[in-house]
Amino acid sequence: MDTVTLSSKGQLVIPKAVREHLGARAGSVFAVRYADGEIHLKPVEPAPPTTLDEVAGFLARPGRKPLSQAQTRAAIQAKLKARNAPAKAP
């Protein structure tokens, strides 16, 4: 078993043999979990990029009438206006 030392910045170096076995390199992402006195690292696979065409209609509801582009823009503008409006004094 390899041992590592925690740096003053809270960093650990994963041994080269382990990194090579995992295929980990700079920028690799890991999920960290602490359980029963042990720290567990699990590589996180990046999600593949998606296009708008792949997700278009994802939130559609059966029986709901689709909005036109103008209606969609108006609804988005109204939400942004409401969200960015100055807070009213009580």
Res 86: pLDDT:
78
Residue 89 domain-assigned?
Answer: no
Q: What is the CATH number of the domain that holds 34?
A: 2.10.260.10
Q: Provide the Cα torsion 49, 52, 54, 60; round to 10°.
A: 130
pLDDT band at 89 (very low <50, low <70, confident <90, very high): low
Residue 59 domain-assigned?
Answer: no
Residue 27 domain-assigned?
Answer: yes
Q: Report whether pLDDT(87) > 80.
A: no
pTM above 0.75, yes or no: no
Q: Count the alpha carbons within 13 Å of 30 in the hemisphere toward its beta carbon.
A: 15
Taking the C-alpha atoms of residue 52 and residue 49, their distance in angstroms, rounded to an integer, is: 10
Q: In total, how many domains does the chain have?
A: 1
Domain that holds residue 31: 1-45
Q: How large is the average pLDDT for residues 45-50?
A: 86
* C-alpha dist (Å) from residue 61 to 15, 26, 65, 66, 75: 50, 42, 9, 9, 17
Residue 69 domain-assigned?
Answer: no
